[in-house]
Amino acid sequence: MSTVLAIVFWTSVALIVYTHLGYPLLLRALTALGAGRGRKEPQPLGDEDLPSVSLIVAAYDEEAVIAEKVENALDLDYPRDRLQVIVASDGSADATVERARAAGADLILDLERIGKVSAQNAAAEQAGGEILAFSDANSSWEPGALRRLVARFADPGVAYVCGQVRFLDAGGDNLEGAYWHYEMAVREMESGLGGVTAGNGAIYAVRAGAYLPLPPAGSHDLSFPFELARRGHRSVYEPQARASERMVPTLGGEFARKRRMMVGLWDIVIGERMASPRGYRPLFAFQLASHRLLRYLSPLLHLLALATNLALLGEGKVYAATLAIQLALLASALLAPVLPLPPLRLARYYVTVTASIAAGLWDRLRHGSAGTWEKSEGTR
């Protein structure tokens, strides 16, 4: 019995360490060995070669920021006759529609409350661009961001491109900005290999012909890379296409935001068959399992590691040491609010984000999947 417990314990620990630390190191080694070097860097396109683009902003009660967002889109360094700005209002009860119209949006959809993904689907159906770009209402793009995104589509094998999002620090206790530095570094290495395994909602684009209408509980960020990979397309990261948006100031707010996001995760992993190995090229399947599936299993792996560690106490000093490490992680997270040292704050962020995955699953089991969405406090 102790042998089985030891196998479960060490396997759980190894997978936790691998997905968070080992996998990025392995990507770095593969990159250093020259994997993916045959891919050509995108070349800037002249105005006459630029494709038409529809920039879609799904908005729910965004009267505070929608005019600024439309103005930001219209100020992009992109030929005006090849840029269509679409605002899809998802049942907004405020002045979102009126302010988007006054700011100069080319097309405004005043929809009933159908959810973000459904609003994006509706906008995609009416879009006229060869490329469909998407952005959050509270995201601000740098002037050259759209050109940078579009340049990557010169590679006919690329169907999805995500840019770099920078979170503006609101001065609270949320470390999401630090996490995204790590996440963007991983995505850049993935991009040069099998392709990115996820995007972000602030700045991304997809070929119109490759766009996939997703169910209400779906997510462009998580679904497009693996769904497009099954169809033989690549999804890449363009770090020079930059956007910024305000970060949720508190870690409690970040937990609530991620918990809402995680509700639909399980429909994507199981219902949309992210976890199925069929249809992927081997390198992308390896990346997806390492970066996504194991990350989503982290709450379960931590519970298994803790439970088996407790059961193995008395089997050797090593198990007393590993239990001390696990308890130290939890104690650090609890101490962070009263002793805000960087290592303790990092421990609290990690525990909180890991717990949000489990909380999202719990909400999914109790209430089902939700297609509607809410804004996060402090991000507008």
Any idea which architecture 8-380 has in CATH?
Alpha-Beta Complex (3.90)
Considering only 10-19, 46-55, 128-137, which range has the smallest mean pLDDT? Answer: 46-55
104-143 burial: b if 16+ Cβ within 10 Å, else e = ebbbbbebeebbbbbbbbbbbeebebbbbbbbbbbbbbbe
pLDDT at 379: 46
pLDDT over threshold 70, residue 172: no
Q: Where are the domains of the chain?
A: 8-380
Averaged pLDDT, 259-277: 79
Task: Return the ∠ at Cα 233 (arms to 229 and 237), rounded to 5°.
Answer: 90
pLDDT at 34: 72
Dmax over CA atoms of the chain, in Å, equals: 73
pLDDT at 380: 46
Which of 167, 171, 175 has the alpha carbon at shortest distance from 336? 175
pLDDT at 371: 58
Q: How do strand 204-207 and strand 131-135 relate by DSSP bridges?
A: antiparallel
- In this prediction the pTM is 0.89
pLDDT tens readout for residues 281-333? 999 999 999 999 999 999 999 999 999 999 999 888 999 999 999 999 999 99
